[in-house]
Chain A
Amino acid sequence: NAGVTQTPKFQVLKTGQSMTLQCAQDMNHNSMYWYRQDPGMGLRLIYYSASEGTTDKGEVPNGYNVSRLNKREFSLRLESAAPSQTSVYFCASSLWTGQGQPQHFGDGTRLSIL
């Protein structure tokens, strides 16, 4: 039981390049989330998926797209990377039962845009 697995762990991109961050969970959770964390700041929600087949914008969605591939996998895509997207990206999942539940986080992807 690996929990939430993110790949890659580190990535360096040039401005304008594209890439996809991968996330998979093996806890049979229905909800999945993508956050970014900038130095000295909290976690800001980019997108989330309440259940398979649905996605919704969070607080900072501009410049990103997501795909909920199946119940296990939720990917985040940067179509044209910008230096402002340099950050640590965390994927999380939770089991929604009608009331608040803890979110379980992956180890993060450290992304630098040059």
Chain B
Amino acid sequence: GENVEQHPSTLSVQEGDSAVIKCTYSDSASNYFPWYKQELGKRPQLIIDIRSNVGEKKDQRIAVTLNKTAKHFSLHITETQPEDSAVYFCAVPQEGSARQLTFGSGTQLTVLP
């Protein structure tokens, strides 16, 4: 099955700084790459996703970049704010069964005021 590695597992940044989280995957046929944010005690919520036909996608302070050759994609958060503090998960379609998603192990982002 698909192997997804997410780094770092924890990340602390000062308010206003940028944060970058990276995921690597194994299946070169993967073509859909979502990122989810999960606040403490809440459900995971999609914050941004990208398809393999583009290399970058932005939505205000959030961006995702994709390097299909190297099989990795990254979440970029600029001008971080305390409300960005949460656990972030990447996901990749399961090899051979694109309906399924394999999730990374998560990154706990803490934005320090």
Contacts and interface: CB of A to CB of B under 8 A. Distances in A.
Real complex partners, A and B?
yes
A43 B103 contact: yes
Interface string B45-64: 11001010000000000000
Give the interface residue-count category, chain B.
20 to 34
Contacts of B42: 107
Interface in B30-73: 31-32, 34, 42-46, 49, 51
Contacts of A41: 105-106
A42 interface: yes
Contact of B100 (A58, A90, A99): A58
Interface in A31-59: 31, 33, 40-45, 48, 50, 56, 58-59
Interface SS of chain B: strand
Interface in B87-104: 89, 93, 97-104
Contacts of A33: 100
A94 B49 CA distance: 14
Interface SS of chain A: loop
Instruction: Specify which of B1, B42, B43 lies most central, judged by the most chain A CB atoms within 10 Å of its CB.
Output: B43
A96 B100 CA distance: 10
Contact of A100 (B44, B93, B104, B106): B93
A108 B44 CA distance: 10
Contacts of B46: 102-104
A106 interface: yes
Contacts of A102: 34, 46, 49
B51 A99 contact: yes
Interface of B: 1, 6, 31-32, 34, 42-46, 49, 51, 89, 93, 97-106
Given A99-B31, A100-B93, A102-B46, 20 more contacts: A31-B99, A33-B100, A41-B105, A41-B106, A42-B6, A42-B105, A42-B106, A43-B103, A48-B100, A56-B97, A59-B1, A100-B32, A100-B34, A100-B51, A101-B32, A103-B46, A103-B101, A104-B46, A105-B45, A108-B43
Nearest 5 CB-CB pairings of A with B: A100-B32, A105-B43, A42-B103, A102-B46, A43-B103
